[in-house]
Amino acid sequence: MSGRGDDRGLTVRVKKKRGVKASSRRWLERQLNDPYVRRAKADGFRSRAAYKLIEMDDRFQLLKPGQKVVDLGAAPGGWCQVAADRVGSTDEEVKVVGIDYLEVDPVPGAEILQMDFLEDEAPDRLIETLGGEPDIVMSDMAAPTTGHRRTDHLRTMHLCEVAADFAVRTLRPGGHFLCKTFQGGTERDLLDLLKRNFASVHHVKPPASRDGSVELYLLAKSFKGRRERDNAEGEEDEDAGPLG
């Protein structure tokens, strides 16, 4: 991607300070030296995560003009920015609705609900605000880390499962589901659910994911529709694409 060459040789070191943890200092150094962080500021994106969605959409052609999009775990708003631009969502005709329990500054062309997606009323609020079934359900949700890798993995996988269930219950036929997961094994029940309901399922790691990061994205393309899903319940899906 263009612009990376300008970052060569620019390494920022953070001085050690009494009372500042080494892990905090390393995180700050990583942020200051991350070319995607600098590009996000220059391009007006809320976070470097915007480039993950841009790269995945460029590869798989998910977002198209006129589509309706739900963004789960929208804070700080980078994915909403990209989606609103690519589907042509405006303040007058909103086609992108996000949700997060954190407060998010307004994003032009998007409506963002400040509430926990796990609340019982959240799914209905999302569909009501969107004004119909979504074409894309995307989730960059991750559970707050505990420092215990297995626990963090299980908690984030639970969010992925809840997001997948929402997608299967609300997507329009032909729609797509994109969700953050972690390396270390996607739960078999989740993969079975997606393979039954979508034409293809892939694991994707966009270039903007940091080197050494265990995050992956689970992409399920071309929702088959609920009627077909019900008719095929329990049958093996021979048309599901490869994971990769």
> What stretch(es) of the chain map to CATH 3.40.50.150?
45-231
Q: Are 71 and 57 in contact (CB under 8 A)?
A: no
Which pLDDT does position 184 carry in this prediction? Answer: 66
Q: What is the pLDDT of residue 1?
A: 34
Question: pLDDT value at position 236?
Answer: 45
The beta-strand segments (E) located in 95-185 are 96-100, 110-114, 136-139, 176-182
Handedness of CA 204, 177, 104, 148 (dihedral sign): negative
Query: At the top level of CATH, which class does the domain 45-231 belong to?
Result: alpha beta
Annotation-wise, does 135 bind a ligand? Answer: no
Supply the pLDDT for residue 215. Answer: 85
User: Consecutive sets of 10 residues in the chain, 244 residues long: mean pLDDT of each?
Assistant: 39 48 48 63 80 96 98 96 98 97 96 97 98 97 76 84 97 97 76 96 90 85 79 47 41
Q: How far apart are CA 156 and CA 161, in angstroms?
A: 9
The question of whether 95 is a catalytic residue gets the answer no
Pairing of strands 176-182, 215-223: antiparallel
* Catalytic residue (one of 52, 68, 95, 180): 180
Q: 158-194 burial by CB neighbour count: b if 16+ within 10 A, else e?
A: ebbbbbbebbbebbeeebbbbbbbbeeebeeebbebb
* Nearest of 138, 221, 145, 215 to residue 179 by alpha carbon: 138
Residue 214 makes CB contacts below 8 A (sequence gap 6+) with 182, 183, 184
* Continuous H helices in 131-148: none
- The residue to which tokens 């480039």 are assigned: 51
Strand ranges inside 31-116, DSSP E: 69-72, 96-100, 110-114
- pTM of the full predicted structure? 0.79
d(CA 80, CA 70): 9
Count of other CB atoms within 10 angstroms of residue 23: 8
The DSSP 8-state label assigned to residue 74 in this structure reads -
Are 129 and 113 a contacting pair, CB within 8 Å?
Answer: yes
Residue 100 assigned ligand-binding role: yes
On whether 189 is known to bind a ligand per the annotation, the reply is no
